[in-house]
Structure 1
């Protein structure tokens, strides 16, 4: 049974410089593995199979193919509170920088965690 009080945040903004040339045109989490899967599928699958189904995914670098993969692969019933939502790094009037690391990615998206919690 899903735990409605747990919100999960997956940090998926990696550039993947050590995986070049696999990351020439995509982010590290978007690198294909085993045919039809992507690296991001591993933590998402872990969340789903652990019954944590309120998932935010923070993305940043070259994330177009990653966004497309997530939106086409993961869909929950509209009759539940389950979701997978992509939180892209964005520049605002208050914050003109991209994520400056993993802790900053969480800090910039605390309002989503606090709202759901």
Structure 2
């Protein structure tokens, strides 16, 4: 069995993207067009597929019609018979009667997928970031450290840190603090 087949990706793609308004007036942030026919979500999907991942759930919620259409029409490339998929999962309110209350809640409300798929590892990805990354390096690092949880981060200049979440780690790469967009 392929090592990557033991990994389930949860791609979080339900956000409003208020800072991108009016581009997000009629669509979720991951569905905002980028470079013509592409969408922001394509970066994370492309990274996942190019990293050998073949089991991907895309969690959607806010104004998701154009995102559903784009993923259904453009990313229907796997064979379900081989256990490969890119599946769209709308908010189903399985736990309580509210929409997702944030990223952690969207994962929690879909925890049954973990029971159903029984993956060895789960990769939780944002569907609204523009970047290129080979997730194999992250997964290999995670396994090498025998970690319970691994977070992918990058350094930013101090004068730009207020635009990002700031994570501090010790010499063993253990998280010592986190500040969400400090002022």
> Which of the pair has the greater relative contact order for Cα pairs under 8 Å at 6+ separation?
1
For structure 2, the 5+ residue unaligned runs are: 119-183
SS at match of 2:59: strand
For structure 1, the 5+ residue unaligned runs are: none
Q: How does 1:1-117 map to 2 (within 5 A)?
A: 3-75=4-76, 76-92=78-94, 95-117=96-118
Separation in structure 1 between the aligned mates of residue 80 and residue 112 of structure 2, nearest angstrom: 23
Separation in structure 1 between the aligned mates of residue 79 and residue 3 of structure 2, nearest angstrom: 13
Change (3 A) 1:2 1:35: farther
Bigger CA radius of gyration: 2
How many corresponding residue pairs? 116
Separation in structure 2 between the aligned mates of residue 115 and residue 46 of structure 1, nearest angstrom: 24
Asked if the contact 1:99–1:105 (Cα under 8 Å) also holds between the matched residues in 2, the reply is yes
Instruction: Indicate the RMSD between aligned Cα atoms, in angstroms.
Output: 1.4
Normalised TM-score (structure 1): 0.93
